[in-house]
Every structure is written in structure tokens, then in C-alpha cells.
Amino acid sequence: MIRRRVHGGLYAEDMERLYHGPLPYLIMLIGAGLTVAILTGTGLALSYVAGLAPEGFWENPWVRGAVGAVLWALVVAVGGLYLTLVERKFMARVQVRYGPNRWGPYGILQPIADAIKLLRKEDIIPEAADPLVMRFAPIIAFAPSFVLFAAVPWTESYVASTMDIGVLFIVAVTALTPIGVLMAGWGPNNKYNLLGAMRFAAQELAYEIPLVLAMIGPIAAAQSLNGVAIVEAQRGTWLGLIPRWNIFPQFLGAIIFFVAFMAETGRIPFDIPDAEGEIVHGFTAEYSGMKFVLLLLIEYVHLIAGAALFVVLFMGGYLGPAPINPFAWFALKLLLVILFMMLIRAVWFRVRIDQIMTLGWKILLPAALFNIGFIGIYLAVTV
Amino acid sequence: MVVELYEQYVPVIPFIIIGVLIPAGGMILAWLMRVKNPYPEKLTTYECGEEPIGQAQMQFDVQYYIYALLFVVFDVETVFLYPWAVVFPDIGILAVIEMIIFIAMLVVALIYAWKKGILEWMPLTWREMVIREGGRAR
């Protein structure tokens, strides 16, 4: 029998055994345990460090803002980098492939190799393009999607800004991203970019309304727009067993919100703005190098932001039983929602643009309006 | 009041600064590290190997300007709904009924728009477009 050498010293048969035996599941379990331990440890370490500061230090708004911004920047940078690997690996598992496995064990160094490659890549600005618009587009598209984290509560005490209009602020800031994307569509003077940006704008228009309307449920339940207040309103359990998360009484609202934010990120069931097969990755077609990475990163920032919002609004944010601390609970729920979105991406297909518009305007919008009436009556009766 | 606003909104400023610094810093880093070797063929507009015909910065048939009008209508509605959502459980069922009436009026508008066919993506079929351009429909 000829043995085919595929991976370093391993043979194809060994690979088969390695990837289809119980080992992957064992590793996943150990990985999950390690994740919980690391997150809990980080949370404890953070609260220890926070306790060391002099009295009144954390009440200083500049300190809160700066520390929060640096923490979220780390989450977005490392998360954005590593979510690409998690996604590729996870999709490969679902689709019975190996996924990246060359750099480091299980390919864990792959994102770093990608980053170095993309930093070294030549950055082409075509002659016909408008260089200024093309250069500023990634900045203008990226900045708002990062600023919204200022109002997302990590835990009760780790929230950068305790603004009263938290959720409204997030919605308002998110609405600025399409301007950057439209600039990315216009600047390069390329038809694919233009088409992609126009599709993105149409999609944002169609799904903004159901998204915003679905948020009304949790807001009404908490009687506040503040993120911490919305989470605190979900404290406690029904019958001592089911947590009082908004997702249970407001299931319809949760589904509407989930679908709408998935459409706003432009991921696979709704990825017509960057359909590779027809318009060559849409509004990033003419971009290369770092600017391309930044435009891609926006998708992952939106993913993290949307999942964070979903966790805060519907899944009880940082609340959870004691042994795992609140910091870790929030991160775990965030990971769970993100993995669920990746699962959908792995098994689903791209829908047509008219179907997307139909879903947004003819199904989700009436459903969201119905949902408001339903929640209104539910809350008026129960409160 | 001013103190409260100061405490609530000052933390956003570092976020804006870092939100601009991440892309700007990344672009500067890439500018320092990357290869630079442009030549005329590389700087042409990419169109899958075809010679581009005309500009892309042109008058574009935006399909969804009526969507945009509808969007404005419902966006203004949410402005009314948010303050309502914060206070209505205190007022009780009366506030809910009032809001349902308000929403019902907007639903009538939505139904009208629906019947008018402006919620259809691409209201013109290819056949109609060809006829309008003066060609013969196949």
C-alpha cells in the first residue's frame, strides 16, 4: 500500500484517525474549560487591579473612557484577527474539511501569518480613482463601528460611559458606517465597488427599522435606555429555574433583532454587498493591502458589536451563577452568539437581493410592528 | 445637569480617538512596511481583465429612493416610540392602546405602499426595459 505523506511527518491515514476519532471532541472540551478558566481569571485579575486604584479614580470620565477604549480595542483587534481563524476552522469542521493547519498546532498562528502578509502587500490606488476618498473611506467606516462600544456594558462596573441614552447612542453611531462604505464604493471609480456599496446601503435601509423596532421590547421591560439598567431588569429567575432573560417572553423580538443584525453585518445569508461570485467582493474590490483588511475588519467589528448588543438586550448580559464571574459570563455568551452566527454562515447559502428586500420590508417590518403591540399588551398586563 | 452630561459623554472621546487611530495607524504601518512597485498596467481599473468602458463615477440608477422615503417615515416613528417605551408601563393599558392606534395608521401607509408596488425590488422586468429602450422583446 502506498502511504501518502501529507502533513509534516503525518500520513493521510493518521490524519483520518486524528480528525475523525474522539480526539477533536476531547480537545474542544478541554478548550472550552480553558476558555472559562482564562476568562474568569482575567475578570478576577481586572477587578483586583481596579481595586488597587485610589478612591475616586474610576469615577474620572477620562480614565473610564481611556481604559474602556483600550480594552475594547484589544478585544476588537485580537478578536477580529482570531475570529477569522475560528470561523475558518469552525466552517471547515462543519463542512468536513481540515481548515488551516500549517502554521502552528491546529493552525493557531495562521492569523499572524495573514497579518504579516497583508501588511507587506502592495497598496494599489488606480489612476482613475479619487485617492483622498479612497484613503479616508476605511477610517470613516471603521471609527463609528468602534465608538459604539462606549455604551456596551461589559459588567456592571466595566462600562465606559453610563449614558442614559445608551442604546439610542449605539443605533445612532451605527448609522454612520454606510457613509464610509459608500465612500469606499465611490472613491475607487470601479463598477464592482459602486454596486457593492449601493447594495450595502439598500440592505442597511431595509434592516435598520426592524432592528430598531425590535430593541423597543427590552427597553420597555427595563424602562430605560441604559445598557446596565436593561441587564439589571433581567436579574432573577422564573420558578427558580428559568433565568428572566428577555429572550423568553420576547422570542419574536429576539428573532427579528438577530436576523436584522445579521443582515446589517452583511454575512453569508445576506452577503450580496460582497458577493464574490458576481461582483468580486463588492465595495472592497479595488482595495488591497491594509485598507482591504480594515474594510474586512468592519464586518467582524459589526459581528462582535451585534452579538454584544444581543447578549445585553436579550440574554441577560453579564448575569449568571456565581462560580464564573460576570466578566466571563458576558464573554461566554458573546462567544456563543458569534459561534451560532458562524454556524449559520457555514450551512446556509446566499439569498438574492429581491428576496432580501422582501424579507426586510414585507416580513420583518410588519412582524416588528406586531411585536411592539404584543409587548405593549404583555407588559401592561404583567407590570 | 452639565456635570452629568460631562461624566456621561467624555468617555466617548477616547473611543473616537482610538477608533480613528486603529485604521490610521494600521495604514501608516503598512505604508512603512509594504512593497512599492507601481507601473501603468497595475494602475488600471480592475474589471476582470476587460477594458473598462466609461467611468464608474456616473449617474447611477438608485433602485431604492422610494425605500429611502419609507425609511424616513418609519425612522421618525421610532423617535416617537423610544420615549413611549421608557414610560408606558407606568401609564398602563391606555398608553398601549394609543400607541397601537398610532402604529395602525403607519401600517395603513405601509399597506398603501405595498399595494402600489414600491416594495418590489426592480419593478421593471428585463422585458419591459428592452421594450422601453426600443428593442424587441424576446
Q: What is the CA radius of gyration of chain A?
A: 22
**Cβ of B14 and A73 within 8 Å?**
no
Higher pLDDT among residues B131 and A93, named by residue: A93
CA-to-CA dists, residue B4 to A120, A272, B7, B10, angstroms: 47, 43, 5, 10
pLDDT at A257: 92
**Measured between CB atoms, does B9 come within 8 Å of chain A?**
yes
**Measured between CB atoms, does B102 come within 8 Å of chain A?**
no
**Cβ of B43 and A124 within 8 Å?**
yes
Residue A351: DSSP 8-state: P
Chain A residues whose beta carbon lies within 8 Å of the beta carbon of residue B34: 119-123, 289-290
The SS3 call for residue A7 is strand
CB atoms within 10 A of CB B29: 12
Which of A75-79, A215-219, B60-64: highest mean pLDDT?
A215-219
pLDDT at B138: 46
Confidence of residue A178 (pLDDT cuts 50, 70, 90): confident
Higher pLDDT among residues B135 and A314, named by residue: A314
In the numeric block, the cell 459604539 is attached to A148
Rounded to 10 deg, the angle between the A61-94 and A110-120 helix axes is 110
**Measured between CB atoms, does B34 come within 8 Å of chain A?**
yes
Number of A to B CB contacts under 8 A, please give it: 236
Can you tell me the mean pLDDT for A59-77? 81
Rounded to 10 deg, the angle between the B12-33 and A131-147 helix axes is 140
pLDDT at A256: 92
**% of chain A exceeding 70 in pLDDT:** 93
Chain A residues whose beta carbon lies within 8 Å of the beta carbon of residue B36: 122
Bridge partners, residue A243, by sequence = A237
How far does the CA of residue A329 sit from the closest CA of chain B (Å)?
24
Residue in B closest to A186 by C-alpha: B57
- Position A85 pLDDT exceeds 70: yes
Compute the distance between CA of residue B119 and CA of residue B71 in angstroms, rounded to an integer. Answer: 12
ipTM score assigned to the predicted complex = 0.80
Mean pLDDT of all residues belonging to chain A: 81
Whole-structure pTM value = 0.84
Can you tell me the mean pLDDT for A53-82? 79
Residue in A closest to B10 by C-alpha: A61
- Position A219 pLDDT exceeds 60: yes
Question: Cell for B59?
Answer: 449617474
Of B7, B12, B43, which to mutate for an interface test with A (greatest number of A Cβ within 10 Å)?
Answer: B12
Sign, Cα dihedral of A108, A111, A112, A117:
positive
CB-CB: which of A161, A189, A294 is closest to B23? A294
Residue among A378, A244, A251 nearest A316 (CA)? A244
Write out the H or E segment, with its range, that includes residue A13.
helix A12-20
Can you tell me the mean pLDDT for A245-267? 86
- Position B99 pLDDT exceeds 70: yes
CB-CB: which of B9, B63, B90 is closest to A202? B63
Count of helix runs (H) and strand runs (E) in chain A:
16, 4
Chain B residues whose beta carbon lies within 8 Å of the beta carbon of residue A138: 23, 27
Write out the H or E segment, with its range, that includes residue A237.
strand A237-238
What tens digit of pLDDT does each residue of A343-363 get?
Answer: 888 888 888 777 888 888 888
Least confident of A42-51, A299-308, B97-106, B124-133: B124-133
How far does the CA of residue B127 sit from the closest CA of chain A (Å)?
17
Compute the distance between CA of residue A372 and CA of residue A369 in angstroms, rounded to an integer. Answer: 5
**Measured between CB atoms, does B63 come within 8 Å of chain A?**
yes
**Measured between CB atoms, does A162 come within 8 Å of chain B?**
yes
80-99 in B: which are within 8 Å (CB) of A?
81-82, 85-90, 92-93, 95-96, 99
In the numeric block, the cell 477594458 is attached to B51
Mean pLDDT of all residues belonging to chain B: 77
pLDDT at A27: 76
- Position A115 pLDDT exceeds 80: yes
**Cβ of B75 and A135 within 8 Å?**
no
**Measured between CB atoms, does B11 come within 8 Å of chain A?**
yes
What tens digit of pLDDT does each residue of A331-345 get?
Answer: 888 888 988 888 888
Determine the distance from the C-alpha atom of residue A149 to the mean position of all C-alpha atoms in its chain, rounded to a whole number. 11
CB atoms within 10 A of CB A358: 17
Ramachandran area for residue A380 (φ above 0: left; ψ -120 to 50: alpha; else beta):
alpha
